[in-house]
Structure 1
Amino acid sequence: MIKTLFSKDERAFTLIEMMIVLLVISVLLFVAIPNIAKQSNNINDKGCEAFRHMVEGQVQAYRIDMDKYPASVAEMVETGYLRSNETACPNGQQLEIKAGGEVAIVS
């Protein structure tokens, strides 16, 4: 026997079932998206701290090699301890080298 396209024993999703699934997915997205955005800010803040620690390490390497602390970021770039004058963190804050080799985050 040849089955027709619309035989009664075929199983399929109804329009109502598909709409319920789409509603559930939409609600999950509305809950998840704000949490992802909030976590992005936390990630950028932690990235800035990690970048500051990396620059502090380069300042200490400079001090060991040159027997003095660098006067500025430009001096560290000129001597090859940093790649560029960019000292911006992922969250937009800037790094600054203070007297005594302290690296600070400046807003």
Structure 2
Amino acid sequence: MKKVQKATVKAFTLIEMLVVLLIISVLLLLFVPNLSKQKEAVKQTGNAAVVKVVESQAELYELQHKEEASLAKLRDSGALTDEQVKAYNDYYEKNPNKSRTVNP
């Protein structure tokens, strides 16, 4: 009798596992496209923040060197990195209606 009782172990059936996998798949199909859209929105917000940094660095450069700042001058002086220059240019490519304050 004890051997028979040990053989009856509670476990998930194949149908239950398939239902759980189906639910997880549906949730992934709903959320993955939204995540990719959010990624682009976050990138745009980050680029907008970089624009403010570049403009601040340009003002500092103009005050220190008494000449007009450009992206090339700021990058050569070490005030900006290549990634910041790229983000600045990307922002204005995606927003052509806005005017640049720092020339390339």
Q: TM-score range by the shorter chain?
A: 0.7 to 0.9
Structure 1 unpaired stretches of 5+ = 96-100
Give the Cα–Cα distance (whole angstroms) in 2 for the partners of residues 67 and 53 of structure 1: 21
Q: Is the 8 A contact 1:52 1:103 kept in 2?
A: no
The normalised TM-score by structure 1 is 0.73
Give the Cα–Cα distance (whole angstroms) in 2 for the partners of residues 4 and 54 of structure 1: 74
Identity across aligned pairs (percent)?
33
Shift of 1:68: 2.9
Shift of 1:35: 0.6
Secondary structure, counterpart of 1:68 in structure 2: coil
Name the aligned partner's letter for residue 78 of structure 2: G
What number of residue pairs does the alignment pair up? 96
Give the Cα–Cα distance (whole angstroms) in 2 for the partners of residues 5 and 103 of structure 1: 80
The normalised TM-score by structure 2 is 0.74
Look up the match of 1:62.
61
Give the Cα–Cα distance (whole angstroms) in 1 for the partners of residues 83 and 36 of structure 2: 29
Look up the match of 1:34.
33
Structure 2 unpaired stretches of 5+ = 93-99
Q: Which is strand-richer, 1 or 2?
A: 1
- Once superposed, what is the RMSD of the aligned Cα atoms? 2.9
